[in-house]
Amino acid sequence: MASIQGAYGFQLTARNIPLQPCERPSLDPGPEEVVVQVAGCGVCHTDVGFAFDGVPTRHPLPLILGHEISGRVVAAGEKAYGWLGRWVLVPAVIPCGSCAACRAGRATICRQQFMPGNDGDGGFATHVLVPFRGLCHVPEPLPAGLSLEMIAVVADAVTTPYEAIRRSDLGREDVAVIVGVGGIGGFAMQIAAALGAAVVAIDVDQQRLELASHYGAGLVLDASSTELKGLKAAIRTFSKERAPKGIGLKIFEMSGTPAGQSTAFGLIDHGAYLSVVGYTPKPVELRLSNLMAFDATARGNWGCPPDQYPAALQLVLEGKVALAPFIEFHDLEEAPAILEAAAMHSLRRRAILRPSHNKQQNRSEATK
Ligand SMILES: [Zn+2]
Ligand SMILES: [Zn+2]
């Protein structure tokens, strides 16, 4: 059970200031823990919430953020020894597995859950110490065109919409409306298309909509130039053609903006299902009685239970969900700037921070 020396990362020391570099001289896994050498860690709007929007982390600051992690297990406690050397995805939410919620099959609301970058140091780092429970094995080698660092986004940006769509029972007769086809929605529309649904993509960004039309969306609508009434009319026509037997739209709010949330709620029709996946701390004004009037359902989900990760990963391995057009890589050292860019909504793609392990080796040799 070797400890790992010389890890470093970027921590949040206080709100509304840039992340600060920090060292973690020794990472020692307990019996049920592993150390993962980070290949990639995605930057999520939840990280922005912690850094800039006043959302408290459960672990006190300072804390290394980041919960969208892929990498290799380089140290393992005695109960986790079988994972040593393997490629893994670290679930964004790691439930305890034994509390009442976990036993009832509601693992995502486990109160003893461990979320890297929230309950302990996360993946904006060279290495991360996590419980081995729930780790998802990544096959080695990967199919052509995929790399372990790309797979990082499966840990949250693919699995969270996967779980939202799974809960909606989306099928071939349904119309899926994805509001916001950026970081999460770009994967959601591909998952929905893979399940055979007719997909509508709504965004305010022309480039995103252009990409959407090549990756699953049968209809793309620009909400910056079309009023709600126009969106509804276009979706109605599309539904009649593409999914005439479908009952109620399945709407997925993935923009995490008040405007997107208003649009998503405004699209509710008879028997609709509204899934809220995007996050914004800002409130929106809604006529909640529409749920009653339309006999509709609204639901959210906090991440995805680890037992669903292999199925979500499989869609990526089979090429049904493309990652490359929706991600961009940055050096780990750029973490402070990238988090600020995410906060300004100025990233068009999901950013993945990539530590250079050669650099880290030089660094630890220099400090010997
Ligand atoms: Zn996230
Ligand atoms: Zn639990």
- How far is ligand 2, taken at its centre, from the CA of residue 109, in Å? 8
Taking every pair of Cα atoms in the chain, the longest distance, rounded to a whole number of angstroms, is: 69
* pLDDT at 345 (0 to 100): 84
- How far is ligand 1, taken at its centre, from the CA of residue 117, in Å? 10
* pLDDT at 365 (0 to 100): 46
- d(C-alpha 9, C-alpha 22), whole Å: 5
* pLDDT at 164 (0 to 100): 98
- How far is ligand 2, taken at its centre, from the CA of residue 312, in Å? 22
Residue in 300, 293, 295, 236 with CA at minimum distance from that of residue 274: 300
Helix or strand run (H / E) with residue 70: strand 69-76
Q: How far is CA 208 from the centre of its chain?
A: 18
- How far is ligand 1, taken at its centre, from the CA of residue 155, in Å? 8
- How far is ligand 1, taken at its centre, from the CA of residue 43, in Å? 8
Among the bound ligands, the one closest to the CA of 114 = 2
Residues in the chain with pLDDT < 50? Answer: 365-368
- How far is ligand 1, taken at its centre, from the CA of residue 240, in Å? 35
- How far is ligand 1, taken at its centre, from the CA of residue 295, in Å? 31
- How far is ligand 2, taken at its centre, from the CA of residue 108, in Å? 8
- d(C-alpha 368, C-alpha 366), whole Å: 6
Indicate the SS3 state at residue 334: helix
- How far is ligand 2, taken at its centre, from the CA of residue 56, in Å? 21
Residue-by-residue DSSP string for 107-138:
GGG-TT-B-BTTTB--SSBSEEEEESTT-EE-
- How far is ligand 1, taken at its centre, from the CA of residue 303, in Å? 8
* pLDDT at 58 (0 to 100): 96
User: pTM higher than 0.75, yes or no?
Assistant: yes
- How far is ligand 1, taken at its centre, from the CA of residue 67, in Å? 6
- d(C-alpha 310, C-alpha 107), whole Å: 16
- How far is ligand 2, taken at its centre, from the CA of residue 10, in Å? 29
Among the bound ligands, the one closest to the CA of 161 = 1
Residue 284 is given by DSSP the state -
- d(C-alpha 224, C-alpha 308), whole Å: 35
Strand partners, 131: 33
* pLDDT at 232 (0 to 100): 98
Among the bound ligands, the one closest to the CA of 112 = 2
- Give the type of residue at 253: E
Residue in 25, 28, 35 with CA at minimum distance from that of residue 85: 35
* pLDDT at 363 (0 to 100): 54
